[in-house]
């Protein structure tokens, strides 16, 4: 039986048509993938912010209002800033003002806004063997050191660790002693470690209250110079390696946090009957 081939022009036309269809399908898939990616906001936050539970009151509201998914990456402030430098996140919520200013001065951020503050505490064993209750934070650290009591440091370049180092520096420095331990972990895990060691530790108030039922540690220094803990939100600048260019949504998230609605949510978030964060953009007479 003789095989009847299709004429050359018809075969070429069919091949071109098939190529166009495949090209359109590929473009459509790429556009859908790009659209999905553009609806994701990558937010680096401190572990203390995550551990406090505050983000559970903020992120779902923003996601619903803006039709965007927020991927939260919880690390220490130092690591968060490095993610920003690499362009691996779109926004940063951190608490180390000197490092934040350096980040902006180096051109890695396009916008920075103050958001809120909370406070640091020094917590320790109920018996307070170093006898530091209610004294100044700088003096308390020096006394913990000179009495050789156990102390857990996060040791991770986080905002909390940077504040601890500043307090040591203000007191004339830190000598080495065998019971000073660096956890290299987040705030919650570090509190658990300090409890197991019956050690002192510098912590933000929010995370301490969140983990209070899991430890026997009690606040010993709660009101002192150097214990105010301000937070800033930074939009990562475009044009960096790996940056998605999601500046619009990052700015929208900043606008939400400093809006009256966002600030009220921050103000009204409480744990154990205590307010954890104090908004910095809310009028004093706002109800």
> Phi, psi at residue 214, to the nearest 5°?
-100, -5
Buried b (16+ CB within 10 A) or exposed e, 115-139: bbebbbbbbbbeeeebebeebbbbe
User: Would the pLDDT of 145 be above 70?
Assistant: yes
Q: What's the token pair of residue 109? A: 């951020």
**Per-residue confidence (pLDDT) for residue 4, from 0 to 100:** 47
User: Would the pLDDT of 273 be above 60?
Assistant: yes
> Which of 8-17, 122-131, 169-178 has the lowest average pLDDT?
8-17
Start and end residues for every CATH 3.40.190.10 domain found in the chain = 37-118+230-279, 119-221
Residue 224 to residue 138: CA distance in whole angstroms: 9
Work out whether strand 109-124 and strand 278-279 pair parallel, antiparallel, or are unpaired.
antiparallel
The pLDDT-based confidence of 7 (bands split at 50, 70, 90) is low
The 10s digit of each residue's pLDDT in 66-85 is: 999 999 999 989 999 999 99
**Per-residue confidence (pLDDT) for residue 2, from 0 to 100:** 41
User: Can you identify the CATH homologous superfamily of domain 119-221?
Assistant: Periplasmic binding protein-like II (3.40.190.10)
Architecture of domain 37-118+230-279: 3-Layer(aba) Sandwich (3.40)
């Amino acid at each position: 039986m003789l095989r009847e081939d299709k004429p050359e022009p018809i075969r070429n036309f069919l091949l071109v048509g098939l190529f166009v269809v495949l090209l359109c399908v590929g473009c459509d898939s790429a556009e859908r993938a790009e659209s999905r990616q553009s609806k994701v906001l990558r937010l680096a936050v401190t572990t203390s912010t995550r551990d406090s539970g505050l983000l559970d009151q903020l992120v779902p509201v923003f996601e619903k209002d803006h039709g965007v998914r927020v991927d939260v990456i919880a690390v220490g402030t130092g690591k968060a800033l490095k993610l920003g430098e690499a362009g691996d996140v779109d926004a940063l919520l951190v608490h180390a003002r000197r490092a934040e200013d350096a980040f902006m001065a180096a051109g890695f951020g396009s916008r920075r806004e103050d958001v809120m503050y909370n406070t640091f505490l020094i917590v320790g064993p109920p018996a307070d063997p170093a006898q530091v209750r209610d004294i100044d934070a700088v003096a308390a650290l020096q006394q913990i050191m000179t009495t050789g009591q156990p102390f857990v440091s996060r040791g991770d370049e986080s905002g909390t660790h940077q504040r601890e180092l500043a307090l040591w520096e203000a007191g004339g420095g830190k000598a080495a002693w065998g019971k000073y331990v660096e956890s290299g972990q987040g705030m919650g895990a570090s509190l658990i470690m300090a409890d197991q060691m019956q050690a002192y530790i510098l912590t933000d108030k929010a995370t301490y209250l969140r983990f209070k039922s899991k430890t026997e540690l009690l606040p010993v220094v709660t009101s002192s110079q150097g214990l105010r803990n301000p937070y800033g939100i930074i939009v990562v600048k475009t044009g960096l390696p790996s940056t998605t260019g999601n500046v619009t949504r990052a700015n929208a998230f900043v606008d939400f946090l400093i809006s009256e609605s966002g600030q009220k949510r921050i103000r009204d978030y409480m744990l154990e009957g205590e307010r954890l964060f104090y908004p910095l953009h809310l009028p004093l007479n706002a109800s």
